[in-house]
Amino acid sequence: MAKGKEDWLKDILIGDQEKQRTEDSGDRVNGMNRAAALLGKLDTATRDRILGKEGGHSGISKQIRERMFTFEDLVLVDKRHMPMVLKQIGKQDLILAMKKCSPAVKDWIYQAMSSRLAGMFQEDLDATGPTPLRLVEEAQQKIAKIIRRLAEDGKIAIKGHGEEYV
């Protein structure tokens, strides 16, 4: 009998908890955060197969997704912090990542740029030929990692992640 997505996630979490019990290190990682970090390293298709792509996530899948940040979540970055984020991202990585993203993400990125720079990016994006999906997803993961690092360092705010801002 094949395991369901919830069974796989439970196995990851239980395995992580067992590992924590046997480690002598005082630096323990929360099981949900560990699962989110592991799943964040996977390609989009595999991650969606494990967690489910449907909108109404439930149970463990929902808890893990809440701890993950993917390229599509770029729209959750505070608008004031987008210029700083874009300065940290290489132009080629951004163009590659934008080859396969939602129109909302593209609009969010273009809004964070001057109209002249946005036009140049759009031209460069339109001029790129077919690109292996693997390279696009690698660029997206690289950018998501940069954003997670900036958020962890407290340099940017992400809506719905971390501290609440008022």
In this prediction the pTM is 0.63
Work out the mean pLDDT of the chain and round it to a whole number.
78
Contact yes or no for 15/115 (Cβ under 8 A): no
What mean pLDDT comes out for the span 4-24? 56
Closest CA to 34 of 57, 9, 52: 9
Give SS3 for 54: coil
Closest CA to 108 of 153, 149, 150, 76: 76
71-152 under CATH 3.40.190.10, yes or no: no
Q: Which residues, at least 6 apart from 94, have a Cβ–Cβ distance to it below 8 Å? A: 86, 109, 121, 139, 143
What mean pLDDT comes out for the span 109-135? 94
pLDDT at 106: 95
pLDDT at 8: 65
Closest CA to 71 of 92, 32, 46, 40: 40
Distances (CA, A) of 131 to 91, 138, 139, 141, 143: 16, 12, 12, 16, 17
The residue extents of the domains of the chain are 5-67, 71-152
pLDDT tens profile 76-121? 898 899 999 999 999 999 999 999 999 999 999 999 999 999 999 9
Contact yes or no for 141/71 (Cβ under 8 A): yes
Residue 29 has pLDDT above 50, yes or no: no
Beta strands in the chain (DSSP E): none
